[in-house]
Structure 1
């Protein structure tokens, strides 16, 4: 059994396993699907994502192409102008699908591309040429970034490069070096990322919201919730073995999954009603629903799939209250209990006015209730010399009315310690010798 399927699945990590497989299925179909895992350190986010490289089927590329050119659709500056006959003359080869990483200390030149120093310093045939970086070399594969929130905080230039890669499908990368022509390349790559949002500098959605929005889904990684799950992890014992080739044996690709009219109408309603900021939100919901249908063998994505993936798409984009309201409505539709119209999400000012109005009503009700209690149970004296008297045939207590009670002050004000004479600050006890 492969390392990926040897990993233990429990309630805290099952969503990550699922979205990893969804992303791989999307990539195989030629559609990048970007995923992020957030959670406490030591819960296995990085382990699962790195092990998932075993799921990646190989690719065919033009022989020795550093850009992983597809022989049917060459895109790099070296091969994109070649005819099919010229490509056949160069030859093709099967290689592992790329799985590369961007570290915290990476430089923009190593990530995007820079001058090829080996060719530049070749004494026999020196020439100025570009060497593709991590992003161009990961074409048709995956780039993994650990602690992406720290990267976005400390290396804004790398975050800007990721914005270009993730902003469109396919993405794009631009390589610039002094004295050389600018090279712009299309890049089809899935970005996988992990982060510990409880540590500085915080979650990605607060550090670089524009970058966070480009992730299709965000998974909240949880801890194992049972003793047996911990025991299985320590023992490396996985009782739920799955076939390694589950992704490779998919009968159809993502393009073959249909989207129901009901689903698209519902996505439009959610977008307008809840003032969702980005169209990427509903686009990611549709793609994720199609991937959920693909992995379960369905031909059409509908409401059932949307209910499964909506929380993962919304997690890093809207508030918890909005997610709860949307999921309550979707589950109501699924089980035939939803109202005809969605509840309209009010503005902050409207919500504040409503809160003030509700509190005013509560205070008014409390005032009436307290007045009734005072009238029925307490008898306030009419004179200014009110007293507390528990005597009386009815056993009714009498309380002093503070508004009609004279306050007798001390005979003279207290003297601050700083103004007391020295001899009064220390006292001596005189002992008698009798």
Structure 2
């Protein structure tokens, strides 16, 4: 079935903006989307896949290695010294199901080749398929602890190491982690929460016109997916062109010192741990500026992205009953009004 178009999603602007920022600059660190059921979380993430411009990859490489980056190449490409043939492939968006085994995620011995040919060969897992792309976990807060530990190791190093059944394999596994879930079903482990660059809250629309528009579009899509998608093809192509232009513009965009100072002052006011808050604010504001075609990163970009970049990095304050989003908004008002 044809994927629901990204441009056809009604409202949920913060979520769509965060996903586009992660597509412009993967170093942002991924996106966590938490909120009510039936608010378009999975639909938006899957719709993003159709927008991503195709990437160059080595022909026949199971890890989708970049032919222009010989450093950190996989075992397959290491056997092909010199110039390697390349072709354009879609950016992978790989689903990691909750019930997946560790072998399915990291890879394991290829039993078919072992039994038929007597050879020890590696069968790549989901992390191999997600290299240079997106790894999507629905209900990420329900993920088994041993898989969380595994993802933390790989996300930090960008390399998946498999040692089992006499096999010893290391391959690149750099991906943008995207998770969605419902906070009523359980909290996310702090170690994994910190790995997400942006955290977005989505809620059920409360105004009548928006609810009607959502229902009308979904009904039209289910009755005739091809016709519905065709009507939004031009809008999706426009967003795709913006993504391509933003990626080209990103390396040339510098963040002014005054904007960096503002980011640091905001994080100090909120008491965030470490310096990851400032780094994420800088990267996300720059990616937003690139996507919007701005010539420089302004305070406005910083203010708009601050809730998504900082709401999940705040310490719990027993004397402050307000939510994290409200605390960030209050700090923004206090710090930048000076």
TM-score, structure 2 as length reference: 0.84
Tell me whether 1:223 sits opposite 2:213 in the alignment.
no
Aligned to 1:46: 42
- Where structure 1 has 5 or more consecutive residues not aligned to the other structure, the ranges are 339-434
Distance in structure 1 (CA, Å) of the matches to 2:175 and 2:30: 9
Higher relative contact order (CA 8 A, sep 6+): 2
> Residue 228 of structure 1 aligns to a residue in which SS?
helix
How far apart in 2 are the matches of 1:332 and 1:39? 27
SS at match of 1:191: strand
Q: Give the stretch that moved more between structures: 266-275 or 156-165.
A: 266-275
The within-5 A match list for 1:240-389 is: 242-244=235-237, 245=240, 246-250=242-246, 252-318=248-314, 319=316, 320=322, 324=326, 326-331=328-333, 334=336, 337-338=337-338
Partner of 1:167: 156
The residue that corresponds to 2:101 in the other structure is 107
Partner of 1:26: 25
Give CA-to-partner distance per residue, 1:257-303, whole Å, 9 cap, x none. 21110122233334445432132222111111111111111132232
Match of 2:178 in 1: 192
Cα 1:70–1:32 change in 2 (3 A) is: farther
Provide the rounded CA distance (Å) in 2 between the counterparts of 1:9 and 1:299: 29
Query: Aligned Cα RMSD in Å?
Result: 2.5
Is the deviation greater in 274-283 or in 41-50?
274-283
Matched residue, 2:75: 77
Is the CA contact 1:214–1:280 (under 8 Å) kept in the aligned structure 2? no
TM-score by length of 1: 0.67
Q: Per the alignment, in what secondary structure is the counterpart of residue 164 of structure 2? A: coil
Task: State the distance in 2 between where 1:61 and 1:73 align.
Answer: 10
Distance between the aligned counterparts of 1:144 and 1:220, measured in 2?
17
Give the whole-Å Cα distance in 2 for the aligned partners of 1:113 and 1:251: 32
Instruction: Tell me which of 157, 177, 187 is aligned to 1:203.
Output: 187
1:7–1:233 Cα contact (<8 Å) kept? no
CA gap 1:253/1:187 in 2 versus in 1, 3 angstroms: farther
Quick check: which has more Rg, 1 or 2?
1
Contact 2:7 2:235 in 1 (8 A): no
The structural deviation recorded for 1:191 is 0.8
More helix by share: 2
